[in-house]
Amino acid sequence: MIKIDALPAFSDNYIWLLQDLEQRRCAVVDPGDAAPVQAWLAANPDWRLSDILITHHHFDHVGGIEQLKASTGARVSGPANENIPGRDSALHEGEQIEVLGHRFVVYEVPGHTLGHIAYYQPEQHWLFCGDTLFAGGCGRLFEGTAEQMHASLSRLAVLPEQTQVFCTHEYTLSNLRFAAAVEPANTSIQQRLEQVGQWREAGQISLPSSIGLEQATNPFLRSEQPSVSACIAEREGPAQRSPAQVFAALRSWKDHF
């Protein structure tokens, strides 16, 4: 059995901690800071860190790798097309990697960065997607194009609805405020915004999300919906826009929201 917890880091990052309760082994995803992981290991001295999974090269996702690898000998796996410190296993699209006895499939999801990858566990329906898909939103386009990010998100959007979405930032509240501006008549967004507001007020994490919930409330997965394209037409003027063009307009709007 695998237990998954979030270790908070920096101001709004989460380092996902996967724990094999029988073997007393664990893995972490995107440890931008070694300290929260080291603190957990110190509090659980009979546990061993066996794996470090990396989605992309930004410092708040890789900054703790070398310190953790030096102290634990953990295997570091990450995207083949990015410079990842301490990487042992360079992963490409469609490859599979076994972590804590579970098989993860690698998806290349460029957009936020060009080499960004996500890890999908098809039996348990876990998705570790870094800064590509957020709860209620998506990552900024630092390196890739809107077309690339739209294609990447479209791949993730067709995963089973029950798939748990383990993204790496607590951006949900601000993302849902934007979603409500895009689709003010979407009651699912309004209900989710109210719920997440209550959670955050109580100091509760808003993750993981699910693909089904994102399909219903995340404007960046809904660019084919008439209500979303109509909102963009109202803002930018009437035109024939493809879903990717609607997505690009949404992303540009969100950058200045």
Q: Catalytic residues, which ones?
A: 56, 58, 60-61, 112, 131, 169
Contacts of 24 (CB under 8 A, 6+ apart): 46, 47, 48
CA gap 120, 165 in Å, rounded: 10
Token pair, residue 5, equals 């917890």
Structural tokens at position 119: 């890890």
- Structure-block tokens of residue 103: 């098989």
DSSP reduced 3-state for 239: coil
23: Cβ–Cβ under 8 A, 6 or more apart, which residues? Answer: 100, 101
Question: What is the sign, positive or negative, of the torsion defined by CA atoms of 45, 47, 51, 52?
Answer: negative
